[in-house]
Chain A
Amino acid sequence: GEDVEQSLFLSVREGDSSVINCTYTDSSSTYLYWYKQEPGAGLQLLTYIFSNMDMKQDQRLTVLLNKKDKHLSLRIADTQTGDSAIYFCAERRYGGATNKLIFGTGTLLAVQP
């Protein structure tokens, strides 16, 4: 099927690291993404990783990709209260006429001061 799975909720303390996990379905996906949605706001593209990479680091964000297990994770170092939001992983389905994103269920990250 098209389900991309994420845990629903994660609570961390300010200054700790957060790790948000995602399991995707299509082993042929070439790009995988992390989007952030703050309350009442749209979807902000945080980072993405190409499928031939195992890891990508971008300032406080680290993305790890395990293609064998179809597992993607987002680590946020030194988590701040401003990081509180819903985080969506997404996989790109591309082929023929199709170029669409399949989103996960979203993980609500709550950062406690």
Chain B
Amino acid sequence: DSGVTQTPKHLITATGQRVTLRCSPRSEDLSVYWYQQSLDQGLQFLIHYYNGEERAKGNILERFSAQQFPDLHSELNLSSLELGDSALYFCASSRDWNSYEQYFGPGTRLTVT
């Protein structure tokens, strides 16, 4: 158990809908990272937040957004969902913005039908 929690574990929704995935980092970790794991794209970095501020963006679609709240939990919002958005979404956390260790949560499996 890494100490990173993600909810929900599974999510099934229809195309065009909007969902919110939630992540709670390890205690005292200030950084949260989001990654997407899909069959065609593999595991790819989406976005990094540090202490409430966006730090870096990766291959994140404009339909997707994220935020980190004062209590350091983070939410990933996915809107206008398409079939291709079906994937496993991982959150990771680290102590600082430049920590070399990232600890991953169990993931949220999103299925878009």
A48 to B102, CA, bound (A): 11
Structural contact, B100 and A100, CB atoms closer than 8 A:
no
Q: Which of A18-26, A57-65, A66-74, A102-110 contacts B (4 or more CB under 8 A)?
A: A102-110
Cα of A106 to Cα of B42 in the assembled complex, Å: 8
Say how far A96's CB is from chain B's closest CB, in angstroms.
8
In whole angstroms, what is the CA distance A99 to B2 when docked?
A: 19
Interface residues of B toward A: which range? 20 to 34
Q: Give every chain A residue within 8 A of B106 (Cβ-Cβ).
A: 41-42
Count CB-based A-B contacts (< 8 Å): 58
Q: A9 CB to closest chain B CB, in angstroms?
A: 15
Task: Please determine whether A45 and B103 come into contact, CB atoms closer than 8 angstroms.
Answer: yes
Known contacts A42-B90, A43-B90, A88-B43; A99 and B98 CB within 8 A of each other? yes
B100 and A30 form a contact (CB under 8 A): yes
A100: B residues at CB distance < 8 A: 33, 45, 48, 56, 58
Please name all residues of chain A whose beta carbon is closer than 8 Å to the beta carbon of B103 when the two chains form the complex: 45
Interface residues of A in 1-37 (CB under 8 A from B): 30-31, 35
Bound-complex Cα distance A57 to B52 (A) = 37
Tell which of A41, A102, A106 touches B45, judged by Cβ atoms closer than 8 Å. Answer: A102
Cβ-defined contact, A105 with B98, below 8 A: no
Nearest A residue to B6 via CB reads A42
When distances are taken between beta carbons in the complex, the residues of chain A under 8 Å from B42 are: 103-106
Known: A97-B55, A99-B56, A100-B33. A42 touches B107 (CB 8 A): yes
How many Å from the CB of B84 to the closest CB on chain A?
Answer: 18
Q: A101 CA to B45 CA in the complex, in Å?
A: 7
- Closest B residue to A4 by beta carbon equals B42
A101 CA to B42 CA, complexed, in Å: 13
9 pairs of residues in contact across A and B, judged by CB atoms under 8 Å = A30-B100, A42-B2, A42-B105, A42-B107, A45-B2, A45-B104, A99-B97, A103-B42, A106-B42
